[in-house]
Chain A
Amino acid sequence: GQQVMQIPQYQHVQEGEDFTTYCNSSTTLSNIQWYKQRPGGHPVFLIQLVKSGEVKKQKRLTFQFGEAKKNSSLHITATQTTDVGTYFCAGVSLGDKLIFGTGTRLQVFP
């Protein structure tokens, strides 16, 4: 069946360093969503990407959707301790099925 793989599983960074998580689908996606889950919290929607090659920015966060619409990335510039949490991508298949990636847990050391 369709899979959405996310790497890395864990990432520890020093505050101020950059961070990137990658999301890869086995099939073409109609769109992709990104969520953030703080420790002890619930997933919160960050952004949705729809177009091939789309790049969107939210302050220090940059989201990219691949040209083939099979992969995506989230890049955080100059991480802060408030960025701590697990970042999930969720790909939407052409059959309108939403599949979550396994998530990347980010730890930021001050």
Chain B
Amino acid sequence: DVKVTQSSRYLVKRTGEKVFLECVQDMDHENMFWYRQDPGLGLRLIYFSYDVKMKEKGDIPEGYSVSREKKERFSLILESASTNQTSMYLCASSLWGQGGSPLHFGNGTRLTVT
């Protein structure tokens, strides 16, 4: 069974701080994704990666960056956190690219920026 683990369930940060959200998957999946989930807006794709050191912008990449140094790990970085980045962040992995196979999600990190 695929396991996607996000390092923190809840996180509170101050405006301007640099924030790292970590995600690890144990199924050797090529593809990893970062989404944010906000009420009424569904899930919106921030960034995805289809291979180590490869990254692609999603629909809302502004204010975020990512890092994929190892196949199993995909990090989301908020360079300078702002209050409008308060949200639920969901990491996911899949065997094939977008829509090619099911997404397996982590439990999510609820980030509050004050």
Interface residues of A (CB under 8 A from B): 6, 9, 30-31, 33, 35, 41-45, 48, 88, 90, 92-93, 96-98, 100-103
Contacts and interface: CB of A to CB of B under 8 A. Distances in A.
Contacts of A93: 99
Size category of the binding interface on chain B: 10 to 19
List 4 A-B pairs, minimum CB-CB distance, nearest first.
A92-B99, A45-B102, A42-B105, A98-B98
Interface of B: 35, 40-45, 90, 97-100, 102-108
Given A9-B40, A43-B90, A97-B98, 4 more contacts: A33-B99, A43-B103, A98-B45, A100-B35
A31 B94 CA distance: 16
Contact of B104 (A9, A31, A45, A90): A45
B100 A96 contact: yes
A90 B92 CA distance: 14
Name the prevailing secondary structure of the A interface residues. Answer: strand
16 contacts: A33-B103, A35-B103, A42-B90, A42-B105, A42-B106, A43-B90, A43-B105, A45-B102, A48-B102, A88-B43, A90-B103, A96-B100, A97-B98, A98-B45, A98-B103, A103-B42
Contact of B99 (A6, A9, A31, A44): A31
A6 B40 CA distance: 11
Contacts of A90: 43, 99, 103
B98 A92 contact: yes
B99 A102 contact: no
Contacts of A44: 105
A96 B97 contact: yes
A100 B102 contact: no
A3 B68 CA distance: 29
